[in-house]
Chain A
């Protein structure tokens, strides 16, 4: 029995549609027209304890819907789903005590209360024994430097501070699973790093299973071994990041800093991508030409200051995958 089981989940929404303009609004009063959207179309996956999985896909692909089904907020039309043997929507209360959820765009803290009072309130709502609560809170406070924020009303927190507090709030009851729905959205670079670092430590040191939805590919690259890509409510890919890379494209980037600006590089095995002053970006396929062979050929032929080989950025890989499935 896996830790988290999702088996052929289907979820459709019926959405009232309105035609634009005043006439459309009036028409909508008399006769509603509905459009059915298949948010999840036979989604299946399994997770083992302690996994850290990235869940990515374009807006409206079904990421948040999946998280909401797993948290017991939404009831799917069909399919099976269990977390530690509990069906989230049927055993909503016992499941809720076992999971932590953060929706990045919304806060679960009380807007008008100081942070510490929100935490105290969550202790009571989750019925956490006071000793356990203080231990968990202090640990989280050290990891994310929360103590200076304790007495600040939530509405006065910056987005980065709020996200740190929200993460702590989701973990006070020591859940075994954490669902993070875009936890780095809108954060500055420093806050993003802090949040990433925290998630990594949480997963590594405490073995908390983490499902992370994000649009930020740096999040994925920094955190996740396993990546699931969803589009149109279907899982398009479920593999390690490296496998995803090799499957979508074998291509590598060759970046060359020339000594002489006017020079052009010509070689039958490379394609030209872009040029910026002395720097030239090229692309090649290591199956057609071994990297070492290509480099020695080019260095022999041209005057070169510096050179390096890179994987294509993950954004491009994902964007190709989307293109393959006509997600745009």
Chain B
């Protein structure tokens, strides 16, 4: 067993350590995310002040939701894995296929580090700052904290599965800018990073409930602040698991298609 998972954990941890070296990028991201968070909070405050109708979420909850989102922004699957993109462009991807490993699992591990490492670096200082100074609240209860953590694991897997699919599409498109350009606004919007999902109208809720994107940010965040009660936490986790299974299966199928029609760039 240990020897079976070894290649995958090894590549994950190597990539993780590599990304931790990029401190300048982390600091830049940190500052930008605080700036954006402040703007989003101000916009929401203005919106709440201008309306007298009851809203599906309290302002304090919205503020916490926004700061959680800023802290965990790195988890959003908005672009393909940059390392895989470079490999496809340069043709180095050929080496990926001469490794005695399952390519999908291998890329999944790579992409997981790609999502986790930057998030890991930025989220903790940002959350501390937001908790102390910017009105972010602590978890609603120990139970809420626990379920939030569980759902965050699900969110990481969900996000990684989507990232791998985006990366695989590079085998057709090669450039990859197009994919990011099309996908990133959609993901931002549907995950709740523009407007918190509970503020969407009822008809939209029915669609959002089916789509996988709710499981990446919205549902875990609302577990954190008790907006989804702990009794309904299993539904959130179940929804995540179903989508993880679907996206992993689809990704693995797509990759087997991609490698069958491979043209390695540069002869």
Which residues from chain A sit less than 8 Å from chain B, CB to CB? 13, 15, 59-60, 64, 68, 71-75, 92-94, 96-97, 99, 101, 103, 105-108, 110, 112-113, 117, 121, 124-127
A62 to B102 Cα, complex, angstroms: 27
B90, CB-defined interface residue at 8 Å: yes
B10, CB-defined interface residue at 8 Å: yes
Known contacts A110-B18, A113-B14, A125-B11: does B6 contact A99 (CB below 8 Å)?
no
Q: Which residues on A sit within 8 Å (CB–CB) of B203?
A: none
A71 to B95 Cα, complex, angstroms: 10
In the complex, residue of chain A having the shortest beta-carbon distance to the beta carbon of B19: A112
A127 to B79 Cα, complex, angstroms: 31
Given contacts A117-B14, A125-B101, 14 further A-B contacts (CB under 8 A): A59-B267, A60-B267, A71-B97, A73-B264, A74-B264, A75-B262, A92-B97, A103-B91, A105-B91, A106-B95, A124-B9, A125-B7, A125-B100, A127-B7
> Is B98's CB under 8 angstroms from A101's CB?
yes
> Is B97's CB under 8 angstroms from A73's CB?
yes
Instruction: Return the 4 tightest CB-CB contacts between A and B, nearest first.
Output: A124-B10, A97-B100, A96-B100, A125-B7
- Say how far B69's CB is from chain A's closest CB, in angstroms: 30
A127 to B6 Cα, complex, angstroms: 7
- Say how far A94's CB is from chain B's closest CB, in angstroms: 7
Q: 18 A-B pairs, CB-CB below 8 angstroms?
A: A59-B267, A73-B262, A74-B262, A74-B264, A75-B262, A93-B101, A96-B97, A96-B100, A97-B100, A99-B98, A101-B95, A101-B98, A103-B95, A106-B94, A124-B9, A125-B7, A125-B11, A126-B100
Known contacts A60-B267, A73-B264: does B98 contact A121 (CB below 8 Å)?
no
B21, CB-defined interface residue at 8 Å: yes
Q: Which residues on A sit within 8 Å (CB–CB) of B14?
A: 110, 113, 117, 121
> Is B100's CB under 8 angstroms from A108's CB?
no
- Say how far B50's CB is from chain A's closest CB, in angstroms: 45
B162-182 interface code vs A (CB 8 A; 1 in, 0 out): 000000000000000000000
Interchain CB contact (< 8 A) of B98 among A15, A72, A105, A107: A72
> Is B98's CB under 8 angstroms from A106's CB?
no
A294 to B195 Cα, complex, angstroms: 94
> Is B260's CB under 8 angstroms from A106's CB?
no
B77-93 interface code vs A (CB 8 A; 1 in, 0 out): 00000000000001110
Known contacts A68-B94, A108-B95: does B3 contact A127 (CB below 8 Å)?
yes
- Say how far B108's CB is from chain A's closest CB, in angstroms: 14
A62 to B94 Cα, complex, angstroms: 16
B58, CB-defined interface residue at 8 Å: no
B263, CB-defined interface residue at 8 Å: yes
Q: Which residues on B sit within 8 Å (CB–CB) of A60?
A: 267
Q: Which residues of B1-59 have CB atoms within 8 Å of chain A's CB atoms? A: 3, 6-7, 9-11, 14, 18, 21
B266, CB-defined interface residue at 8 Å: yes
Q: Which residues on A sit within 8 Å (CB–CB) of B91?
A: 103, 105-106
> Is B98's CB under 8 angstroms from A71's CB?
yes
A92 to B263 Cα, complex, angstroms: 17
A126 to B3 Cα, complex, angstroms: 10
A117 to B18 Cα, complex, angstroms: 11
A101 to B95 Cα, complex, angstroms: 8
B222-266 interface code vs A (CB 8 A; 1 in, 0 out): 000000000000000000000000000000000000001011101
- Say how far A13's CB is from chain B's closest CB, in angstroms: 6
A15 to B99 Cα, complex, angstroms: 27
Q: Which residues on B sit within 8 Å (CB–CB) of A127?
A: 3, 6-7, 100
> Is A112's CB under 8 angstroms from B21's CB?
yes
Q: Which residues of B120-135 have CB atoms within 8 Å of chain A's CB atoms? A: none
> Is A106's CB under 8 angstroms from B100's CB?
no
Q: Which residues on B sit within 8 Å (CB–CB) of A74?
A: 262, 264
In the complex, residue of chain B having the shortest beta-carbon distance to the beta carbon of A109: B95
A124 to B98 Cα, complex, angstroms: 14
> Is A93's CB under 8 angstroms from B267's CB?
no
Q: Which residues on A sit within 8 Å (CB–CB) of B102?
A: 93
Q: Which residues on A sit within 8 Å (CB–CB) of B10?
A: 121, 124-125
A93 to B21 Cα, complex, angstroms: 32
A93 to B103 Cα, complex, angstroms: 9
> Is A108's CB under 8 angstroms from B267's CB?
no
A117 to B95 Cα, complex, angstroms: 17
A105 to B95 Cα, complex, angstroms: 12
